[in-house]
Amino acid sequence: MTAPTTAPVASSDDAALDILIDAAQLKKDLDIDPTYLREECARQPGLFLMYANIAVRAKRQQDRYKTVVEMVEAKLDAQYRSTLQEEYEGAIAADPKSRVKAPTEAQVRSSIVNDVRWKAAQGRLHDASYIARLADNAVSAMEQRKKSLDNMTSLEVKGGGDGTRVERNRSQQASRQDLLDTMARRRDGAPVSAASIGMENT
């Protein structure tokens, strides 16, 4: 059986697939630095909105490629039915006693799914569906990020006192760095004052 020679149905010239999700960037966006918990909380709404919008775009792209597949199938169906029927009628005309059978639905379907144009359209739909799932997973991950932030914030408030443990961690880190700097200056022979090592009030 020869393939239909009518106008092409779909080609790789269709709109390029938009990847939308950057896995490396998503990983960075999901990371939480407990030392800067307030800043992380402030970032959360914007991050969630961004990935929610990406999920909407990914679903729209998936739907678009579903439509493309349906259009390709419909046109190929018409083309192969016509071609198979013409071949059948031609065989009968050439030999009325021919045992050639009329084309069946199975033959038509087999011709469609083995057509490179159908395979290309299905491949793009598969990729678009994968991206849509990734986008949905990103939204779910952002929801989990918010829950983690809520839990961390609750723990910090419970251990707060004059300030959150996060703020105390910052102060402790700064103090440690000051001590390291002081020790370095002492090794270098630079004069060290009481103020430089935080001892002016002792």
What is the tens place of the pLDDT at every residue in 137-181? 999 999 999 999 999 999 888 875 444 555 555 555 565 566 566
| CA–CA gap between residue 174 and residue 168 (Å, rounded) | 10
Grouping H, G, I as helix, E, B as strand and the rest as coil, residue 63 is helix
For the cut 70, the answer to whether the pLDDT of residue 31 exceeds it is yes
Q: What confidence tens digit (pLDDT) does each residue in 94-120 have?
A: 888 888 889 999 999 999 999 999 999
CB 142 within 8 A of CB 30: yes
| CA–CA gap between residue 127 and residue 61 (Å, rounded) | 10
For the cut 70, the answer to whether the pLDDT of residue 79 exceeds it is yes
Copy the structure tokens of residue 105: 């639905």
Longest dimension (CA), the chain: 115
Whole-number percent of the chain with pLDDT over 90: 60
pLDDT at 97: 82
CB 36 within 8 A of CB 152: no
Handedness of CA 32, 33, 36, 37 (dihedral sign): positive
What does pTM read for this prediction?
0.67
| CA–CA gap between residue 66 and residue 80 (Å, rounded) | 21
CB 152 within 8 A of CB 32: yes
Copy the structure tokens of residue 101: 């059978």
